[in-house]
Amino acid sequence: MNNEIARDVVVIGSGPAGLTAALYTARANLAPIVIEGTSAGGQLMLTTMVENWPGYRDGIMGPDLITELRAQAERFGAEITSGHVARVDLSARPFRVELSDGPTYTARALIIATGASAKLIGLPSERRLMGRGVTTCATCDGFFYRGRPVAVVGGGDTAIEEAIFLTRFASSVTVIHRRDTLRASKIMQEKAFAHPKISFAWNKVVDEVLGEVEGKVTGLRLRDTVTSETSDLAIDGLFVAIGHTPNTELFSGVLDTDENGYLVTHHGSHTNIPGVLACGDVQDHVYRQAITAAGSGCMAAIDAERFLEHA
Ligand code: NAP
> So what's the pLDDT on residue 38?
84
> So what's the pLDDT on residue 24?
98
Name residue 208's beta-bridge partners: 221
Atom of ligand 1 nearest to the CA of 161: 42
Nearest CA residue ID for atom 9, ligand 1: 155
Q: Which residues are catalytic, by number?
A: 137, 140-141
| Confidence category of residue 43, pLDDT binned at 50, 70, 90 | confident
Nearest CA residue ID for atom 19, ligand 1: 121
Is the pLDDT confidence value at 199 over 80? yes
CA of residue 301 to ligand 1 center, whole Å: 32
Most ligand 1 atoms within 8 A of CB, residue of 162, 183, 187, 283 to mutate: 183
- The full set of domain ranges for the chain reads 4-118+244-310, 124-240
Average pLDDT over residues 203-220: 91
> So what's the pLDDT on residue 137?
87
CA of residue 245 to ligand 1 center, whole Å: 11
CA of residue 243 to ligand 1 center, whole Å: 5
Q: Convert the pLDDT of each residue in 170-184 to its tens digit.
A: 999 999 999 999 999
- Per the CB < 8 A criterion, the answer to whether 151 and 238 are in contact is yes
- Spatial distance between the Cα atoms of 194 and 300, rounded to a whole number of angstroms: 42
Most ligand 1 atoms within 8 A of CB, residue of 177, 178, 257, 285 to mutate: 178
Is the pLDDT confidence value at 247 over 80? yes
* Mean pLDDT score across all residues of the chain: 95
Q: Convert the pLDDT of each residue in 100-132 to its tens digit.
A: 989 999 999 999 999 998 899 999 999 999 989
Atom of ligand 1 nearest to the CA of 159: 25
Residue 50: closest CA among 38, 41, 58: 58
Vertex 198: Cα angle to 197 and 201 (nearest 5): 140
- Spatial distance between the Cα atoms of 97 and 107, rounded to a whole number of angstroms: 8
- Per the CB < 8 A criterion, the answer to whether 200 and 187 are in contact is no
Average pLDDT over residues 236-243: 96
Atom of ligand 1 nearest to the CA of 160: 25
> So what's the pLDDT on residue 268?
96
> So what's the pLDDT on residue 106?
98
% the chain with pLDDT above 70: 98
Nearest CA residue ID for atom 43, ligand 1: 158
- Spatial distance between the Cα atoms of 137 and 52, rounded to a whole number of angstroms: 12
Is the pLDDT confidence value at 3 over 90? no
Is the pLDDT confidence value at 169 over 80? yes
Nearest CA residue ID for atom 23, ligand 1: 243
For domain 4-118+244-310, the question of CATH label 3.50.50.60 is answered with: yes
Nearest CA residue ID for atom 15, ligand 1: 242
CA of residue 74 to ligand 1 center, whole Å: 38
Virtual torsion, Cα 200, 203, 207, 212, nearest 10 deg: -10
Q: Convert the pLDDT of each residue in 66-94 to its tens digit.
A: 999 999 999 999 999 999 999 999 999 99
Nearest CA residue ID for atom 14, ligand 1: 242
- Per the CB < 8 A criterion, the answer to whether 41 and 22 are in contact is no
- Per the CB < 8 A criterion, the answer to whether 263 and 256 are in contact is yes
Q: How many CB atoms lie within 10 A of CB 227?
A: 8
Whether the bond into 16 is cis, omega within 30 of 0: no
- Per the CB < 8 A criterion, the answer to whether 105 and 5 are in contact is yes
- Spatial distance between the Cα atoms of 239 and 140, rounded to a whole number of angstroms: 11
- Per the CB < 8 A criterion, the answer to whether 264 and 283 are in contact is yes
> So what's the pLDDT on residue 48?
72
Is the pLDDT confidence value at 2 over 70? no
Average pLDDT over residues 151-156: 98
Is the pLDDT confidence value at 284 over 90? yes
Q: For the purposes of burial, counting CB atoms within 10 Å of the CB of 303, is it exposed (0-12), middle (13-18) or buried (19 or more)?
A: buried
> So what's the pLDDT on residue 213?
64
- Spatial distance between the Cα atoms of 99 and 216, rounded to a whole number of angstroms: 38
Write the CB contacts of 311 (distance below 8 Å, at least 6 apart in sequence): 108, 109, 275
> So what's the pLDDT on residue 45?
82
Residue 21 phi/psi, 5-degree rounding, is -60, -40
- Long-range CB pairs of 65-73, under 8 A, 24+ apart, other chains included: 65/16, 65/290, 66/14, 66/15, 66/16, 66/19, 66/41, 66/42, 69/16, 69/19, 69/20, 69/23, 69/294, 70/14, 70/19, 72/19, 72/23, 73/19, 73/20, 73/22, 73/23, 73/26, 73/34
Pocket of ligand 1 (CB under 6 A): 119, 121, 153-159, 161, 178-179, 183, 205, 242-244, 260, 285
CA of residue 298 to ligand 1 center, whole Å: 29
Residue 118: closest CA among 126, 107, 109: 126
User: What CA–CA distances, in Å, run from 26 to 20, 30, 71?
Assistant: 10, 5, 12
The yes-or-no answer to whether 4-118+244-310 and 124-240 have a common fold is yes
HSE-CB of 53 using CA atoms within 13 angstroms: 21
Most ligand 1 atoms within 8 A of CB, residue of 119, 152, 158, 160 to mutate: 158
Average pLDDT over residues 270-293: 96
- The CATH number given to 124-240 is 3.50.50.60
> So what's the pLDDT on residue 215?
80
Nearest CA residue ID for atom 28, ligand 1: 243
